[in-house]
Amino acid sequence: MAQYTLNINGEQRTVDVDPDTPLLWVLRDDLKLVGTKYGCGVAQCGVCTVHVNGVAMRSCTFPVSGVGVAEVTTIEGLSKNGDHPVQKAWKQHDVPQCGYCQAGQIMTAAAFLKDNPNPSEKEIAAAMNGVICRCATYTQIKAAVKAAAKL
Amino acid sequence: MTQFKTHISRRSFFKSTVIVGGGMLLGFNWLSSCMREEDAARALVLPDEWFDINAFLKIGNNGVVTIMAPNPEIGQNVKTSLPMIVAEELDVDWNQVIVEQAPLNTDAFTRQVAGGSQSVRQSWEGLRKAGATARHMLVAAAAARWGVDPADCSTSKGVITGEDGRQLRYEEVATEAAGMEVPEEVELKDPSEFKIVGTGHGNVDIEKIITGQPLYGIDTQKEGMQFAVVLRPPAFGQKLVSFDDSEARKVNGVTDVIRFGDKIAVLAKSTWPAIKGKKALRAQWAVDTPLESTAQHDKAMVDLLDKRSEEPMRKDGDVKKAFAEADQVLERVYEAPYLPHNPMEPMNFYADVREDGVELTGPTQTPAGARREVAELLGRNESEITLMMTRQGGGFGRRLYNDPAQEAAEISSLAKSPVQLVFTREDDMTAGTYRPATKYKVRASIKDGQITGYHLTEAAMSSHLYGSIAHFFPAGIIPNFLFEAHAVESNITTGAWRAPHTNFHAFVDQSFFDELAEALKADPVLLRLDLLEKVKELQDDRIQYSPERLQGVIRLVAEKGNWGKAPEGVYQGFSAYYCHNTHVAELAEVVLNDGKPVLKKIYCAIDCGIVVNPLAARNQAEGGIIDGIGHAMYGDLTFSDGQPSYNNFDTYRLIRMSEAPEVEVHFVENDIAPTGLGEPPFPPAAPAFANAVYKATGKRLYKFPFVKELEG
Ligand code: FES
Ligand code: FES
């Protein structure tokens, strides 16, 4: 076990875990930030996506020992009042079905739109391809990403 | 308005309280608000006092109304749609409604089940009556106070108005209303008066979903709880001989290792050490029952396709004779593999088995079943067990089976500790209860330009299709008709998987129909419409669908998708199918990209009666269609030596955004009582696509997953 002081959603949080513990489980079990979801654990489904220094990263294969002083943002910290443009667009389009993958979808979309504020449909599909939605909400995700770009 | 018997007795009126998460480390909040964004500013204030009107609703002293969501929410939107039905008849403002997830309570609620696309259909009348009964009692209370006839009072948005214009708000008469006689009959609104039903309302949990608040079973964390991950036999047919847990116990955070039956649970302070501990276990397995392989299954099913059944599911005339006398016989074999459900939230369950009672929390489509099975397993009374349903990260049929609740209860009972059992994705994909691998042989005879015989044989692993499917179109109008089904015994567990059997039968039936139309040199849409005319003349009460409604969706989608008028380079395919009480037709458009067929768009027409929540209905249809395409394209699970060939998304492929077609959905407007949407849009998608692929390439598809044939 080792102590790590992490910068999560703008707060310093200290945890005592094994160095190989994926950031995902530190967030969920140790810090009780359960908005970041577990789907596969092998960097394939994207539902565990968080921002590390503003870049979308899969937390399920990112060991806590590698986080260092990086700024980590989770779905809980994406905005103060749930009013990030992507969150707003998600609401407007009533995107979620079961909702389980949506934190990963939203975090992926938010990081993508920051780099590419005016994306084409093809670019949206390429960027969002990494996050699986078993309920297949893809039609509304695409529409919401487009709408968020305009908010 | 029409009078309806209520069947609501005094007994079902019980005292309810707002549920807050007792002993929770993580505050689950079982209340969800329906407010629109513009109302968020003046956030709903919870009242100090609630008046229980009946099991379905209570009214706060500030006018806020709580409506219970009785059924498990697996993404089919019942947590929003069912309360909307109550609110409609209660006649309140949807923005003043809070939805509360009901716990399992078989005294107060009927059918707390998510399955078979039945939630809306089977709850429709009961929920309307619950709302209408409450409204009736509130009006009666106001009328009594005013000394007027209730018939002269009207309601709107939670306000009762007397003939003379006097007004009382629901909360002002709620106490008196709760003491009123429960009416034996109530008036229900005419659908033309609906204000909430038929209007799109957003998911009541949306705020929590987009901000990542605890909501799902896997988010459950309670005081004193341990996490458990289980090692199960790697192959179907194996049993546990012995194991060495010395390495597992050395993992930091691992608290215990417990064997139960042929499984071993690793308990830990958090999930990761439990996963690591499981990997560190060394177990010896032995063969208990024969280890099976796909090649073996294939052979067994093929053999059965030529076997005659003693008890056919439907038999008309003499197919043998029809085939002997035919001008032409068409014979095709269709194949589908096993499929895992793969809900995005892996299986999990929380159990706290104590002397003084058992607490269960988690995702299940059949909570009453979970409680019963856990009671049996532990030898306890059902009355000692409470069960709280969480929002579920998908179900697709997997959570009809309560092995996770049972395992959690068993581990908790052995560990004498509250336990949150979590399946890894690998566990989830390899633990069984799959959509059974299935094959069909279909034959049809044609004589003098007519279909004279139709013979369908199913062979499926561990199960076979159910009765009503044998009477689907075109049963009844073909004089010689035989429908048979066989099951191959296997130790690989199977179960209901989104649109059980119809998810593959629709492909078989509708692909074959396309070939039949071609053999008859008929337009497949016109041929369907013509044959459905003949269904109208039948007197056969085994046929449950309405030929008129099926024709309606066929015509609607043909019109919206410009059937027969595709632009250059666009190839169309058609399908129409009735299942789970809903009528659906779909039209697929395929284009060629470097000579390879690519699905661009699916048009869909649905007749599910009254559309309770158009937003949610659209979501169900879009999702069901893309899911139908995804699993037909990529879904595949094979076995060798009893072991599934894939166990995670690095090798098991689910459809992604870039592969999803555009979807355009149209609903038939009518006043017929609503039916479900969780399953019906799914089955017709694959055949519409396959029929369009044929138009584009001249190649017929007979086998799931299509990707093997299309991408080589
Ligand atoms: S859980 Fe991290 S990518 Fe699937
Ligand atoms: S909404 Fe269910 S997995 Fe995406």
The pLDDT value recorded for residue B657 is 98
The pLDDT value recorded for residue B1 is 46
The confidence band for B15, taking pLDDT boundaries of 50, 70 and 90, is: very low
* Residues B174, B261 within the same domain: no
The 10s digit of each residue's pLDDT in B299-331 is 999 999 999 999 999 999 999 999 999 999 999
* Residues B82, B180 within the same domain: yes
Asked whether residue B429 is assigned to any structural domain, the reply reads no
Query: Could you tell me if the CB of A105 is within 6 A of ligand 2?
Result: no
B391: left (phi over 0), alpha (psi -120 to 50) or beta: beta
Lowest mean pLDDT among B388-402, B454-468, B689-703: B454-468
Given ligand 1 and candidates A42, A62, A75, A105, which is best to mutate, with the most ligand atoms within 8 Å of its CB? A42
The pLDDT value recorded for residue B3 is 56
* Residues B352, B399 within the same domain: yes
Nearest CB among B205, B216, B270 relative to A25 is that of: B270
Interface of A with B in 45-74 (CB under 8 A): 45, 47, 74
* Residues B206, B246 within the same domain: no
Nearest CB among A1, A39, A136 relative to B630 is that of: A136
Please report where in the chains the tokens 């996050």 appear, as a residue. Answer: A131
Asked whether residue B460 is assigned to any structural domain, the reply reads yes
Ligand 2 atom with minimal separation from the A134 CA: 3
B396 and chain A in contact, CB less than 8 A: yes
A103 contact residues in B (CB cutoff 8 A): 209, 212
B657 with A37: Cβ contact below 8 A = no
Asked whether residue B293 is assigned to any structural domain, the reply reads no
Query: Could you tell me if the CB of A38 is within 6 A of ligand 1?
Result: yes
Name the packing angle between helices A102-115 and A121-128 (round to 10°).
Answer: 130
B270 contact residues in A (CB cutoff 8 A): 17, 25, 29-30
Better pLDDT: B241 or B180: B241
Nearest CB among A20, A91, A135 relative to B37 is that of: A91
Strand partners, B664: B603
Task: Please give the average per-residue pLDDT across B219-246, as a whole number.
Answer: 97
The pLDDT value recorded for residue B476 is 94
Tell me the CA–centroid distance for residue A99 and ligand 2, in Å: 5
B664 and chain A in contact, CB less than 8 A: no
Q: What does chain B come to in residues?
A: 712
Per-position DSSP letters for B210-231, written without gaps between them: HHT-S-BGGG--BTT-EEEEEE
Evaluate if residue A10 carries a pLDDT over 50.
yes
Considering only alpha carbons, which residue of chain B is nearest residue A2? B252
Rg (CA), chain A: 15
Task: For an interface test with A, give the residue of B225, B226, B344 to mutate (most A CBs within 10 A).
Answer: B344
Lowest mean pLDDT among A12-21, B44-53, B264-273, B353-362: B44-53
Considering only alpha carbons, which residue of chain A is nearest residue B80? A97
Lowest mean pLDDT among B35-39, B179-183, B268-272, B596-600: B35-39
Nearest CB among A20, A35, A91 relative to B206 is that of: A91
For residue B66, what are its two tokens?
A: 């709580």
A80 and chain B in contact, CB less than 8 A: no
pLDDT, mean over chain B: 92
Query: Could you tell me if the CB of A22 is within 6 A of ligand 2?
Result: no
For residue B402, what are its two tokens?
A: 């309560």
Better pLDDT: A54 or B181: A54
* Residues B522, B634 within the same domain: yes
What is the CATH number for B524? 3.30.365.10
B270 with A30: Cβ contact below 8 A = yes
Ligand 2 atom with minimal separation from the B75 CA: 2
B42: Cβ–Cβ under 8 A, 6 or more apart, which residues?
none
* CATH T-level fold of A2-78: Ubiquitin-like (UB roll) (3.10.20)
**Domain end residue (candidates: B388, B422, B456):** B422
Rounded to the nearest 10 degrees, how much is the dihedral formed by the CA atoms of B581, B555, B525, B507? -30
Task: Domain of residue B38: give its range.
Answer: 2-210
Taking CA atoms, A39 is separated from A60, A128, B405, B429, in Å, by 9, 16, 20, 12
**A85-150, superfamily in CATH?**
[2Fe-2S]-binding domain (1.10.150.120)
* Whether residue B705 has a cis bond before it, omega within 30° of 0: yes
**Domain end residue (candidates: B370, B398, B422):** B422
Ligand nearest to the CA of A39: 1
Evaluate if residue A37 carries a pLDDT over 60.
yes
CA B99, B102, B106, B107 torsion-angle sign: negative
Strand partners, B662: B601
Ligand nearest to the CA of A139: 2
Rg (CA), chain B: 28
Q: Which of B388, B29, B349 has the alpha carbon at shortest distance from B218?
A: B349
- Provide, rounded to the nearest whole percent, the portion of chain B with pLDDT above 90: 80
Q: How many domains does chain B have?
A: 3
The pLDDT value recorded for residue B63 is 82
Q: Domain ranges for chain A, please list them.
A: 2-78, 85-150
Evaluate if residue B21 carries a pLDDT over 60.
no
CB B72 within 8 A of CB B112: yes
B46: Cβ–Cβ under 8 A, 6 or more apart, which residues?
B31, B60, B64, B98
Tell me the CA–centroid distance for residue A87 and ligand 1, in Å: 21
Given ligand 1 and candidates A34, A47, A52, A57, which is best to mutate, with the most ligand atoms within 8 Å of its CB? A47
B657 and chain A in contact, CB less than 8 A: yes
CA B188, B193, B199, B201 torsion-angle sign: negative
As a whole number of angstroms, the distance between CA B396 and CA B680 comes to: 13
Q: Which of B72, B100, B75, B74 has the alpha carbon at shortest distance from B86?
A: B100
Task: Please give the average per-residue pLDDT across B90-101, as a whole number.
Answer: 89
CB B133 within 8 A of CB B6: yes
**Domain end residue (candidates: B185, B210, B235):** B210
Please report how many Cα atoms fall inside a 13 Å half-sphere around the Cα of residue B532, on the Cβ side.
21
Residue A132 to chain B, least CA–CA distance (Å)? 6
B212 with A134: Cβ contact below 8 A = no
Nearest CB among B203, B269, B271 relative to A94 is that of: B203
Asked whether residue B554 is assigned to any structural domain, the reply reads yes
The 10s digit of each residue's pLDDT in B475-532 is 999 999 999 999 999 999 999 999 999 999 999 999 999 999 999 999 999 999 999 9
For residue B624, what are its two tokens?
A: 């069901």
Please report where in the chains the tokens 């749930």 appear, as a residue. Answer: A82
Taking CA atoms, A32 is separated from A36, B210, B341, in Å, by 10, 17, 28
As a whole number of angstroms, the distance between CA B81 and CA B201 comes to: 8
Interface predicted TM-score (ipTM):
0.98
Task: Give nearest CA residue, ligand 1 atom 3.
Answer: A43
Per-position DSSP letters for A42-85, written without gaps between them: SSSS-TTEEEETTEEEEGGG-BGGGTTT-EEE-GGGS-SSS-SH
Q: Which of B481, B571, B586, B445 has the alpha carbon at shortest distance from B528?
A: B586
The confidence band for B43, taking pLDDT boundaries of 50, 70 and 90, is: very low
Evaluate if residue A78 carries a pLDDT over 80.
yes
B662: Cβ–Cβ under 8 A, 6 or more apart, which residues?
A139, B600, B601, B602
The 10s digit of each residue's pLDDT in B574-625 is 999 999 999 999 999 999 999 999 999 999 999 999 999 999 999 999 999 9
Nearest CB among A91, A126, A135 relative to B210 is that of: A91
Task: Report DSSP state, residue B299.
Answer: H
* Residues B363, B244 within the same domain: yes
Interface of B with A in 249-268 (CB under 8 A): 252-253
Tell me the CA–centroid distance for residue B629 and ligand 2, in Å: 16
The 10s digit of each residue's pLDDT in B622-650 is 999 999 999 999 999 999 999 999 999 99
* Residues B94, B31 within the same domain: yes
Tell me the pTM: 0.95
Residue B485 to chain A, least CA–CA distance (Å)? 30
As a whole number of angstroms, the distance between CA B476 and CA B612 comes to: 33
